[in-house]
Amino acid sequence: MIYKTIKVEASSCYEIIIGRDILSRIGEFIRPLLGNCRVALLTDSTVDEIYGERIIEYLSAAGYAVDKFVIPSGEASKCADNLLEFLNFMADCKLTRSDAVIAFGGGVVGDMAGLSAALYLRGVKYIQIPTTLLAAVDSSVGGKTAIDIPAGKNLVGAFYQPSLVCCDTALMDTLDASVFRDGCAEVIKYGVILDKELYANLRCVDFDRESVVARCVEIKRDVVQQDEFDNGVRGLLNFGHTFGHAIEKMSNFEVSHGAAVAKGMIIAARMAPLCGLCDVSQELGKLLGEFGFNLDCKYTADELYDAILSDKKRRGDNITVVLPRSIGECILVTLTVEELHDKLKQILL
């Protein structure tokens, strides 16, 4: 069983282990970090149904006492009520500061488990076991944790790094095609912002999963190490997201995150030449089309602009957008909100 280890050196240091069929070795991976302890396992109903017995078996065989907490699958579960219930659950299970949380699921589970670990007893260790492509390449790495509140997505959170990320790519075999494709939008994003070779190797969803996940994780690791607390270069990871979040929100989350990011990346690519940069929109549109993304935006410039104004990335009358200079290189461009509005009107009707 071959696996690759990637080290992150942020405010705390940890490893990301990536391989196929490595879940059975989870006990061996976590023992040096956790020693003997109880673990609170957070998962969602879908993941629990498919893999729940297996993960408990592996952890128990390694001598861990496991307290499992299952939330319904879906974004709506990443909420304050569930966070509080999980914190109460940990307290009822009498977890102490030497115990740990394990996130076993996609980004929803990972974000909430991370925040719970940051809050419980002012911080216990946590391990990420991502089960979606998006969680593997993005949310499990870098220590951003959050829940959603009625005022908006991810508005309550903390920077809190995991002690380990263990990514078994075989877990993704059971993903719905649309959920897998959502993750592909993030993979393509990494190629456009920082790695033209990665981009060139992506032609369809059948890419070599282990090497692509590892490359994306290395890119994210490099960015996080330079700007852990998101004050500069980490903003590049938002390529397509400012527009994508607005589309997601306007659709009442009927357009999935990945599908919205794909539309958002195309809007950003079309905005680039209006800011004196190259136009990669045709090339990017072709690749996104090959992955099955529908790139139409049914919203007008005015509608998109209004939704973007409430984005948490806005600073006063300025907003920073990520625009491609070429495939493999993006830059941060700060526009006034009027400039943004004007450019959106040139792109969308």
Ligand X SMILES: NC(=O)c1ccc[n+]([C@@H]2O[C@H](COP(=O)([O-])OP(=O)(O)OC[C@H]3O[C@@H](n4cnc5c(N)ncnc54)[C@H](O)[C@@H]3O)[C@@H](O)[C@H]2O)c1
Contact status: 108 vs ligand X (CB under 6 A): yes
Classify residue 150 as exposed, middle or buried by CB count within 10 Å of its CB (0-12, 13-18, 19+): exposed
CB of 256 to ligand X, least distance (A): 8
**What residues between 290 and 329 interact with ligand X by CB under 6 A?**
none
Angle between helices 45-61 and 26-34 (to 10 degrees): 70
Least separation in angstroms between CB 254 and ligand X: 15
Pick out residues in 250-289 that bind ligand X (CB under 6 A): 257
Stretch that binds ligand X, among 10-18, 132-140, 227-235, 261-269 (CB under 6 A): 132-140
240 interacts with ligand X by CB under 6 A = no
Residue nearest ligand X (C-beta atom):
107
> Rounded to an integer, what distance in angstroms lies between the CA atom of residue 344 and that of residue 301?
5
To the nearest whole angstrom, how small is the minimum distance from the Cβ of residue 16 to ligand X? 13
228 scored as a contact of ligand X (CB under 6 A)? no
- Give yes or no for residue 179 binding ligand X (CB under 6 A): yes
- Asked whether position 50 contacts ligand X by CB under 6 A, the answer is yes
Q: Binding to ligand X by residue 118, rule CB under 6 A?
A: no
CA–CA separation, 343 and 339 (whole Å): 6
Of 79 and 301, nearer to ligand X (C-beta) is 79
Does residue 17 contact residue 53 with C-beta atoms inside 8 Å? no
Residue 335 forms beta bridges with which residues?
Answer: 319
Asked if 238 is part of the footprint of ligand X (rule: CB under 6 A), the reply reads: no
Measured between alpha carbons, how far is 304 from 190 in angstroms, rounded to an integer?
Answer: 24
Contact 213, 167 (CB under 8 A): yes
The two counts, helices (H) then strands (E), for the chain are 13, 11
**Would you state the structure tokens that stand for residue 108, as one six-digit string?**
């929803």
CB 207 within 8 A of CB 182: no
If you compute the radius of gyration of the chain from its CA atoms, what whole number of angstroms results? 20
Annotate each residue in 62-81 with x if it binds ligand X (CB under 6 A) or - if it does not, as one string: -----------xxx--x---
Out of 113, 135, 284, 297, the only residue in the binding site for ligand X (CB under 6 A) is: 135
Binding region for ligand X (CB under 6 A): 44, 46-47, 50, 73-75, 78, 105-109, 111, 131-132, 134-135, 138-139, 142, 144, 153-154, 171-172, 174-175, 179, 182, 257
